[in-house]
A and B are shown apart, each in its own frame.
Chain A
């Protein structure tokens, strides 16, 4: 089999402006949703109590909600989780209450009602200070990833590549967040992990293309090529690998989406969005950016010998 029978280099750079406008529009949309709707943060970040209970038969959510409100729990969120028998209950933090006992009180309330007694499957209680720390740690981790990648790419390639890669891929991150804001999907710690993993993963995509760019620049036989031609050539000759790799990764993620259950659902969703936009941005956004930043053969072609030694 061979999916990609490409005779001539595809002139990606001719349409560079179009790609970037598309990406800019998506980006602005994401920012718009983030600004207007905000992220639906999980208890891990906001603090509060999350409980998962299982009934032996389909649960009456309204009855659960009512019995909780009647027992003095303010603003309980009750929803199904996976199946009709599983119920997820979210309770906001209440100041000055003995929050550690909330789960016991909820179970007592639910068991006291008529009908089937629920089984406690999971409790997550997060105090206010922990939530704040997690949010702070998350931002720090993001910063560290960005700085680390920029430094590494600047060392291995050139600052123009580093800057383009990080801009292209940060815009992926914003787009994933935009999706989560637009659809009000729950943003939890595993989703944060997925977002950061995607960041590393799609930078790796840019790296593969940049590697090719450098190789072509250094190739004596291809000296006559202009910069856009070099970029076109690099993208075209790696496109087969790009699609196959992402396809394989996506197969795994799809499997998680299908078999992983609710616990891995949004993790897999974040990865799916990240992979799709990762292909687009790390190739079709990062390369034009490199071009516009004024990359030249001389910047990469000169220190050939030194660079090769640095590989090992």
Chain B
């Protein structure tokens, strides 16, 4: 007799049911949708927004197939992609009347068509990776040394201002690598200044020395402060990237820190790859500095920082600038593309209060002098705007230069989204077109399906009823695996699909082991019921051993793999776990169901059991 206790049968049934529920959403396909989410903090997503969206759609007489509100935003389901595009444009216009100051991100998205009752279980389709749905992936490396240098530069600038305000005389402040050097004529002056310097820049440790008749105070960044700078640099860069991505209107962007100094950006389903890349890849930082007019007039620019300015007509002038940085991009609060009095494209900017105060002082002291706005990209600087200070101004002003309206638009986005705290480099990039993604799904699906069918046909032919049970167990394995992937929302990639196929191919091993064992027992003359019991029991130790070794390989891949390898490893490891359950427990439950109750079982349908003695 081979019977499972009630709880074991119940376990199998519950597992299969759960598997079915969580696998189902994958079959419904996806409907085009438009998603509205906030573009910045302070803008909330609430029922009011939903009714606004609803009214807008009504006015534009757009029929939708569903309107939902959740934490991430309002989603409108639509019948086809044409309506989807139309809806996006209508909503964009209604919700963001001022295109330069968008409150909401209106993005195209795809939503599962699964019915509401399924969604109420939290059952979602598998989360497809970029190689299956198309999109872009970037890995960015943050240049921490650059962040540090930049910080020391701005500290030097702070110190200059403070020392001037306090009327402390000194012989110059210079950045040397990551250190600041303050020169004084005599030791007394140095010692008198030290207290002030320490209170202005508490993040630095100061030491004194003498060189070439100068009395020097050298500041070096404290370790804790340095760590802070590193951490805040990466945080600010992530924030900046988030703002930039919001401008793109991507439904489910992923922007995450990876390791100590890297950032991953994934934009699934992005239509305009070139624009995405342009915005993400822009590592621009802004600086406002005074132009060294003496050098400009004399033409002697030795030892000065010089940046090119490109005019509309292509002529490049070299602009020498002073060392002191008046402002950096962090001080800019908002920016909009606009036109100046002469109707030239310009960018109207607003600074924060500190920035406004600095600007007021600087413009007052430097009337009729020239100021340059520098844009740094990839370590190369460019003077985007050089203008004479016509009057004293504070936190609001316009940047005019040799811009086209389009350029002012991009510049406004760059300024608005904030400066990067540290320069970044794209060190890995992957772009997958949407058609390729669809093809990859089809290829992966076909491989798995045909492989599965081939195995099933063979197993049934070779092991008859037991082969059928093995195939059913294998199907259950596939069900569990897909349900688990859907439930965990683990990213499914093409290597992941390959892993599903391979795992199925390997999982059949357990059933072959069991079936062969049962045959062997029968060959040795054991009764059918006892053969089933012995077959399962004896095969179990082997199955466990062999799965553990495969699992070790899977785990190693999971730990050390990245990108495609990780996608493979996740599915592989999950598949090993589900296969042990389905091959042993589920198949046994089926065998028990078929044979377990029979009192006088003469024969098992497990194909030919050939006995050497039978003389065949």
Contact = CB atoms under 8 A, between A and B. Distances in A.
B559 A208 contact: no
A153 B549 contact: yes
A103 interface: yes
Contact of B277 (A100, A156, A193, A200): A100
Interface stretch (B68-76, B148-156, B560-568): B560-568
Contact of A244 (B439, B512, B544, B609): B512
B427 A129 contact: yes
Contact of B505 (A142, A149, A252): A252
Nearest to B608: A2
B565 A207 contact: no
A207 B549 contact: yes
B250 interface: no
Interface string A195-225: 0110111011101100100010000000000
B281 A100 contact: yes
Interface residues of B, number: 82
Contacts of B273: 120
B427 A127 contact: yes
A148 B555 CA distance: 10
Interface in A2-47: 2, 5-7, 44
Given A7-B612, A145-B552, A126 B505 contact: no
B431 interface: yes
Interface in A250-292: 250-256, 258-261, 263-264, 267, 271
B516 A125 contact: no
Contacts of B433: 119-122
B336 interface: no
A145 B556 contact: yes
Contacts of A253: 451, 501-502, 505
Contact of A144 (B559, B608, B610, B616): B559
A200 B427 contact: no
Contacts, number: 242
B553 A200 contact: yes
Contact of A259 (B274, B428, B450, B494): B450
A72 B561 CA distance: 35
A152 interface: yes
A138 B557 CA distance: 8
Contact of A189 (B447, B501, B565): B565
A245 interface: yes
Interface string B417-440: 000000001111111110110011
Contacts of A156: 545
Contacts of B520: 237
A56 B372 CA distance: 49
Interface in A85-130: 98-101, 103-104, 119-127, 129-130
Contacts of B608: 1-2
A185 B164 CA distance: 68
B308 interface: no
Contacts of B562: 134, 137
Interface in A230-261: 237-238, 240-241, 244-245, 247-256, 258-261
Interface in A146-168: 148-149, 152-153, 156
Nearest to A7: B612
B572 A197 contact: yes
B373 interface: no
A271 B545 CA distance: 21
Interface stretch (B43-51, B109-117, B119-127, B458-466): B458-466
A203 B277 CA distance: 45
A117 B321 CA distance: 45
A117 B551 CA distance: 47
What DSSP secondary structure best describes chain A's contact surface? helix
Contacts of B568: 190, 193, 197
A137 B455 contact: no
A85 B544 CA distance: 48
Given A207-B546, A267-B498, A125 B426 contact: yes
A192 interface: yes
A238 B509 CA distance: 12
A289 B560 CA distance: 31
Contact of B429 (A100, A134, A259): A100
B451 A201 contact: no
A203 B554 CA distance: 13
Given A193-B565, A241-B513, A260-B447, A141 B559 contact: yes
A255 B612 CA distance: 36
Nearest to B548: A152
B607 interface: yes
A196 B430 contact: no
A205 B608 CA distance: 25
B541 interface: yes
B454 interface: yes
Given A141-B559, A244-B462, A121 B436 contact: yes
11 contacts: A104-B277, A121-B436, A145-B552, A197-B502, A197-B553, A241-B512, A245-B513, A251-B451, A253-B501, A256-B501, A271-B502
Closest 4 pairs between A and B when the two form their complex, measured CB to CB: A200-B553, A252-B505, A255-B451, A127-B427
Interface of B: 139, 141, 273-274, 277, 281, 378, 425-433, 435-436, 439-440, 443-444, 446-448, 450-452, 454-455, 458-459, 461-462, 494-495, 498, 501-502, 504-506, 508-509, 512-513, 516, 520, 538, 540-542, 544-557, 559-565, 568-569, 572, 607-610, 612, 616
Given A119-B433, A260-B443, 13 more contacts: A100-B277, A122-B430, A123-B431, A124-B429, A152-B552, A156-B545, A196-B553, A204-B509, A247-B458, A252-B501, A252-B505, A254-B454, A258-B447
